[in-house]
A and B are shown apart, each in its own frame.
Chain A
């Protein structure tokens, strides 16, 4: 489903070259929940961005469901993102001036749905994450955990196949983190979403079905597969 082939990503800053991903090859199955671990700076966010079509590899290929994402450009790439990927970031996921409902309706405005249908979809997504009673709250009126749940609702509003979450529980307390992880699990199990979640937290990673370890831009062994 997600295939990285010999992917290299090099940042140039000044005269220096920083190889963040160094010939990374990896296959991920559709419908599975992956945790992506590794020390800070190992290239996790970079990899997530490549899979989500926010960034392009310097060499190699990133294919998602048979689509060569790195080759898409402009409007086609934007449309592909809108159709196929939902993003959840670490914090500040929501547009501050919009309510929870409006935030979730935002990606739906890129679909041909009518306003009433968009609202229905958004309300359904918010219900799924247990936020039905906070529709007209602004982000600053929500707790960190609630904000992440609204972010998840936004990520699934257009019903994309893949959810990319970059340290979604990084800023949360244990209970809120558990709720968010439970939600991701449920989305995977009940709705067959492919989930790729970056995390530092081994306990969080345990909730995933597979763990991918990155180190200095290369794959380290999955401790469980070795066993």
Chain B
């Protein structure tokens, strides 16, 4: 086996082409990790914030609350009669109907975007518990034309700061509180169910949410309610519901990531191949000496492959360094299921970094394989004749 220092110093001797290649691989890795971090941030926000003890009831056949409609009487009946639903101290079901709609609003930076507005019933706060935290002002009063706005929206959307008045169609709604939430609720506007429905001129809510008694078998409940004669519903846990909402964007980002990985990866592999071919060509005589000394083609092949792998590793490290500052950076992206804008952060997780480094190693490996093979196949006599 050829010594490690041989590989390391060979890379260092031709610093400029090494740096160029490392940077090429690094840029590729950074872009791909950026997309992966975006996907990670999106997925994490949706799936990690969903709770297993909250059940979401949709109209059978609908995939998201936007296209679900629940008749009020049926919702009331369901909440009152399902034994699995937890009760509050006064014996009332910890459940509530919610309406949900995307409304077009102006951004403070200009242009328009869809923002989700949700109307909830008085016990809705109890259902969602600590997931929704008012950090400024106070909760809206039941039955009033007051709203609370997610902190992430307050600065980005016009008329959303504390004390502002947001006009919905013709109804003025006063912003009395700012709230935080880690999940998708963190990009919404919340108000009283009846008032929001009235402002939007809609009769029925979109879904029922309920806190379930501990130990409730939600899949079994789902099966039972699927074909229920009075109030048929599609039931799933809040976590499962939110996970299903990420599928579209998640796949899109994955496809984008793979496409970028392939296109930029090809360019990076090409650079790496070129660098290694140039290295091997200028070291032909050296390879002749190695082979003449008795080194076999396989160790020579491995040594050059290792050199390329090291290029990949360095590129991966550089790529990670370039991607790391993205971590925590907030951005808005479209939820393609409901067509509302959701704000979330890039998440450069250890998983993302591991993928990035592995990807860089693959780039080095693929780029180095052919040059290394060429080096190993050289005939010592001919290699030695080249000065």
Which residues of A does B touch, CB under 8 Å?
Answer: 49, 52, 54-55, 74-75, 78-79, 81-83, 87, 89, 91-98, 102, 105-107, 109-110, 154
Contacts and interface: CB of A to CB of B under 8 A. Distances in A.
B13 A96 contact: yes
B286 A54 contact: no
A102 B294 contact: no
Nearest to A94: B289
A98 B293 CA distance: 15
A102 B5 CA distance: 9
A93 to B, nearest CB: 7
Interface residues of B, number: 23
Nearest to A99: B5
A97 B10 contact: yes
Interface stretch (B189-197, B342-350, B379-387): B379-387
Contacts of B6: 95, 97-98, 102
Nearest to A49: B381
Given A79-B294, A81-B292, A93-B289, 6 more contacts: A54-B292, A55-B381, A87-B293, A92-B285, A96-B13, A97-B9
A54 B294 contact: no
Contacts of B290: 95, 106
Contacts of B13: 96-97
B286 A82 contact: no
Interface in B83-138: none
Contact of B381 (A54, A97, A105, A154): A54
Nearest to B387: A92
Interface string B1-43: 1110110011011000000000000000000000000000000
Interface of B: 1-3, 5-6, 9-10, 12-13, 285-286, 289-296, 380-381, 384, 387
Nearest to B1: A109
Kindly list the 9 A-B residue pairs having the minimum CB-CB distance in the complex, ordered from nearest: A82-B294, A97-B9, A81-B294, A78-B296, A107-B293, A54-B380, A55-B381, A54-B381, A78-B294
B381 A110 contact: no
A82 B291 CA distance: 10
A89 B384 contact: yes
A102 B387 contact: no
A78 B293 CA distance: 8
A91 B380 CA distance: 16
Given A54-B380, A95-B286, A110 B294 contact: yes
Contact of A81 (B2, B3, B293): B293
A102 B3 contact: yes
